[in-house]
């Protein structure tokens, strides 16, 4: 298996881009990434996109984006795994280069969500659940996550406000990220007072649906050899699944897919949790951050929330998370989120994270689909 490097990346700011379409956003990020990677084209384009058909009526989006990005003729395919689409697309690109079949691939995550009003977006998001058992009952991602959070609070004796540090941390880190949607801090008091969306989840522990596109360029060692710019290596890549329906899981508070994928990535990279300098989890809801921290071995079961309360997830903590704002602060363009995570870890490993810079050599991302039925984990190593 060959080594795989990230030689370029580009991203649009996450926000409600009322005047821009998915193809437009995607093209911006691709052109920026290609310029940085100093390549003009690629062997393939893998597009992470979760809801293009549901939200904009546009399927077949990979060929469309290839065409508009000036890559007409290039192999292009869309990868869909709900919220894990971006991570899954990166993994597909990784497999393509590592296998030796392709030398340069472009991985783009894109989601255009602001064309429809709130209820229609929620309906589309709900397609990530088990339609016949969950969706039909009216359960959407926020409802399912609320069930998880309620159970967590019951099992581990904590309160709603104990989850506040996750959102406070994300918003604080988003302040210095020019690509973030919410560049303003929030307080614990604001978190406590925020309007409930699905009790106990409030507006301030739900990542915002938004528009955005992010692109990374993956290259083989042979291509990188001629590049001068410092690059990041993907040293671990693994993906796993769990039952889609929450009720089919023996212990819903343990994310088995997240655990399986992280174990695969650790084994491949030859690292342990203690050697991970920063972690970008799938913080669509604060409860998912807590469960990811536990599944990945940063905290034991029931201790993820405590870890946040003790300040260990901050930029100076033992395991900084959401260092550029995470899904909560940077924003959550569903199928693009996993690619934004990869870029943010690259920024940290290359010393380009500005005021949010952490001392990092090894960073990890985890992209989840649904309530963790899909989990894709990547471990990246910087040039140091």
Partner 1 sequence: MMKPLRDVGIVGYGAYVPRYRITAEEISRVWKMGEDNLQLEEKAVPGLDEDTTTIAIEAARNALRKAGLDPDKLSAIWLGSESKPYSVKPTATIVAEAVGATPHTSAADWEFACKAGTEAMQAAIGFVGSGMAEYAMAIGADTAQGRPGDQLEYTAGAGGAAFIVGPKEESMAYLEGSFSYVSDTPDFFRRPGQQYPTHGNRFTGEPAYFTHTMMAVQQLMGDLGYDPDDYDRVVFHQPNSKFPKRVAQRLGFVEDQYRDGLLVPFIGNAYAASAALGLAAVLDKADPGERVLLASFGSGAGSDAFSFVTTERITRGRNPLPSVRDYVNRRREIDYARYARQRGKLVMY
Per-residue binding letters, 197-216, with partner 1 (x by CB under 8 A): ------x-------------
Under the criterion CB under 8 A, does residue 194 sit at the interface with partner 1? Answer: yes
Q: Is 117 in the site for partner 1 (CB under 8 A)?
A: yes
What's the sign of the alpha-carbon dihedral 6, 350, 69, 213? Answer: positive
Q: What is the closest distance, in whole angstroms, from the C-beta atom of residue 200 to partner 1 in the complex? A: 13
Radius of gyration of the chain from its Cα atoms, rounded to whole angstroms: 19
Q: How far is the CB of 115 from partner 1 (least distance, A)?
A: 9
Q: With contacts defined by CB under 8 A, name the span among 156-164, 181-189, 190-198, 230-238 that binds partner 1.
A: 190-198
Q: Does 154 bind partner 1 (CB under 8 A)?
A: no
Q: How far is the CB of 192 from partner 1 (least distance, A)?
A: 11
Judge residue 225's burial from the number of C-beta atoms within 10 Å of its C-beta, 0-12 exposed, 13-18 middle, 19 or more buried. exposed
Binding status of residue 73 toward partner 1 by CB under 8 A:
no
Does residue 138 belong to the site contacting partner 1 (CB under 8 A)? no
**Near partner 1 by CB under 8 A, which window of 29-37, 192-200, 214-222, 272-280?**
192-200
d(CA 261, CA 293): 13
What is the widest separation between alpha-carbon atoms in the chain? 57
CB 346 within 8 A of CB 217: no
- Minimum CB distance to partner 1 smaller for 17 or for 381: 17
Residue 384 found at the interface with partner 1 (CB under 8 A): no
Looking at 12-20, 162-170, 284-292, 335-343, which segment touches partner 1 (CB under 8 A)?
Answer: 12-20
Q: How far is CA 211 from CA 19, 345, 355, in A?
A: 11, 21, 25
The secondary structure of 264-301, three-state, reads HHHHHHCCCHHHCCEEECCCCEHHHHHHHHHHCCCCCC
Applying CB under 8 A, which residues contact partner 1? 16, 18-19, 114, 117-118, 193-196, 203
């Amino acid at each position: 298996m060959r080594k795989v490097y990230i030689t370029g990346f580009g991203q649009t700011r996450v926000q409600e881009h009322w005047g821009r379409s998915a193809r437009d956003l995607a093209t911006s990020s691709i052109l920026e990434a290609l310029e940085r990677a100093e390549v003009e084209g690629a062997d393939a384009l893998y597009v992470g996109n979760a809801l293009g058909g549901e939200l904009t009526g546009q399927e077949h989006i990979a060929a469309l984006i290839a065409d508009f990005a000036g890559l007409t003729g290039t192999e292009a395919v869309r990868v869909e795994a709900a919220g894990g689409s971006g991570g899954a697309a990166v993994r597909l690109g990784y497999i393509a280069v590592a296998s030796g079949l392709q030398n340069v691939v472009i991985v783009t995550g894109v989601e255009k969500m602001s064309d429809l009003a709130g209820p229609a977006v929620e309906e589309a998001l709900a397609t990530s659940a088990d339609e016949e058992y969950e969706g039909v009952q009216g359960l959407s991602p926020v409802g399912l996550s609320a069930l998880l959070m309620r159970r967590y609070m019951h099992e581990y004796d904590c309160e709603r406000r104990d989850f506040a540090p996750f959102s406070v941390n994300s918003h604080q880190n988003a302040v210095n990220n020019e690509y973030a949607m919410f560049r303003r801090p929030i307080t614990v008091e604001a978190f406590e007072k925020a309007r409930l969306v699905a009790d106990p989840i409030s507006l301030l522990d739900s990542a915002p649906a938004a528009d955005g596109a992010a692109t990374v360029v993956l290259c083989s060692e042979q291509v990188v050899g001629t590049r001068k710019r410092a690059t990041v290596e993907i040293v671990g890549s693994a993906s796993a699944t769990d039952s889609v329906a929450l009720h089919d899981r023996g212990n819903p508070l343990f994310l088995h897919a997240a655990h399986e994928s992280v174990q695969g990535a650790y084994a491949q990279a030859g690292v342990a949790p203690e050697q991970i300098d920063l972690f970008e989890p799938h913080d669509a809801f604060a409860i998912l951050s807590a469960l990811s921290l536990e599944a990945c071995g940063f905290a034991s079961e029931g201790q993820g929330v405590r870890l946040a309360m003790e300040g260990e997830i901050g930029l100076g903590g033992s395991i900084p998370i959401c260092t550029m704002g995470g899904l909560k602060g940077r924003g959550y363009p569903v199928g693009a989120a996993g690619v934004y995570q990869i870029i943010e870890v690259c920024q940290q490993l290359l010393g380009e994270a500005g005021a949010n810079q952490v001392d990092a050599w090894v960073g990890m991302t985890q992209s989840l689909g649904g309530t963790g039925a899909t989990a894709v984990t990547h471990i990246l190593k910087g040039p140091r």
